């Protein structure tokens, strides 16, 4: 598998292709994918019970995502998924992936510091507790502080999200150095803003619909969206066209455009 000198640019409709591809890969290992998700969530909940659980979760983010990329890679090549694919990042490229988690934590620090500074002059929890729920009102300064904190945090978080989207796949599957993987991921997202807009809208709709089905829908949609990131990675960073549905598989999956 070879990387392009620069990531490919795709049209806006490509986001649908990535989403469809993620669903197809999910069909190659539905049971394993659901088991992986439940295990991932259970470990995340246990970590949140620790004093520094949030830090550990961010530190291992790329390690876990590398596992999802490995599962998608197996689904693409072998048309099957194994449960232990989730732990591939702990067995392969662990140090670079962990280094990526360190970069993620360091990049999140200024966002948290900025948000805390903007909201430092009033305590939201104390404010809500001090007012009646029926007559909850806010001053213009309070609203301005909240909106400013949210806007600036999102403005700073978007480039970070772009940098970490494809980094786990690049580090695990192509052994790209951490700094290079983060840069290529950022450029790949930047060159494909419009298809990612389509993908984001589809993801929001799917998550909304799946939430109406409670746990059952999310057990399908979350793995599917993780796999769709892999489909986008192959489409943007690798050579050759990627037939998401291998020849003869379209009828079996009952899912076509």
Residue 197 contacts residue 12 (beta carbons within 8 Å)? yes
For residue 43, being part of any structural domain is answered with yes
- Indicate whether 252 pLDDT > 80: no
The Cα–Cα gap between 234 and 244 comes to 10
- 104 vs 248 pLDDT, higher one: 104
pLDDT at 247: 38
At CA 109, angle to CA 38 and CA 69, rounded to 5? 35
For residue 197, being part of any structural domain is answered with yes
Query: Dihedrals φ, ψ of 238, to 5°?
Result: -110, 160
pLDDT at 74: 95
pTM for the full predicted model:
0.83
Q: Span 147-155, mean pLDDT?
A: 77
Range of the domain at 194: 14-102+162-253
For residue 28, being part of any structural domain is answered with yes
For CA atoms 252, 21, 101, 150, give the dihedral sign: negative
For residue 245, being part of any structural domain is answered with yes
For residue 9, being part of any structural domain is answered with no
Report which DSSP code applies to 202.
H
For residue 121, being part of any structural domain is answered with no
For residue 185, being part of any structural domain is answered with yes
pLDDT at 1: 53
Q: State whether residue 154 is helix, strand or coil.
A: helix
Longest dimension (CA), the chain: 64
Q: What percent of the chain has pLDDT over 70?
A: 81
The Cα–Cα gap between 30 and 38 comes to 12
Residue 232 contacts residue 18 (beta carbons within 8 Å)? yes
Residue-wise pLDDT for 1-42, tens only, equals 555 557 889 999 999 999 999 999 999 999 999 999 999 999
How many Cα atoms occupy the beta-carbon half-sphere of 64 within 13 Å? 18
Q: Span 128-137, mean pLDDT?
A: 52
Confidence class of residue 191 from pLDDT cuts 50, 70 and 90? very high
Number of domains the chain is built from = 1
Q: State whether residue 3 is helix, strand or coil.
A: strand
Structure tokens at 227: 């796999």
Beta bridge partners of residue 3, listed in sequence order: 238
Q: State whether residue 12 is helix, strand or coil.
A: coil
Structure tokens at 163: 């940098």
At CA 65, angle to CA 61 and CA 66, rounded to 5? 115
For residue 53, being part of any structural domain is answered with yes
């Amino acid at each position: 598998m070879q990387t392009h000198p620069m990531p490919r640019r795709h049209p806006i409709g490509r986001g649908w292709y990535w989403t469809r591809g993620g669903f197809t890969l999910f069909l190659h290992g539905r049971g394993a994918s659901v088991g992986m998700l439940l295990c991932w969530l259970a470990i995340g909940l246990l970590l949140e019970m620790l004093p520094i659980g949030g830090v550990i979760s961010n530190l291992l983010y790329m390690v876990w995502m590398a596992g999802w990329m490995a599962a998608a890679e197996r689904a693409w090549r072998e048309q099957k998924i194994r449960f232990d694919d989730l732990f591939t990042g702990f067995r392969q490229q662990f140090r670079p992936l962990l280094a990526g988690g360190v970069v993620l934590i360091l990049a999140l620090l200024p966002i948290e510091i900025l948000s805390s500074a903007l909201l430092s002059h009033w305590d939201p929890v104390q404010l809500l507790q001090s007012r009646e729920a029926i007559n909850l009102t806010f001053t213009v300064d309070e609203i301005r502080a909240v909106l400013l904190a949210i806007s600036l945090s999102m403005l700073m978080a978007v480039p970070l999200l772009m940098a970490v989207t494809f980094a786990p796949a690049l580090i695990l599957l192509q052994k790209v150095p951490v700094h290079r993987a983060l840069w290529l991921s950022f450029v790949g997202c930047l060159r494909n803003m419009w298809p990612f807009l389509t993908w984001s809208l589809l993801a929001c709709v799917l998550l909304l619909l799946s939430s109406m089905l409670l746990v059952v829908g999310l057990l399908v949609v979350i793995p599917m969206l993780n796999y769709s990131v892999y489909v986008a990675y192959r489409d943007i960073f690798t050579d050759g066209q990627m037939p998401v549905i291998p020849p003869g598989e379209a009828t079996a999956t009952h899912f076509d455009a």
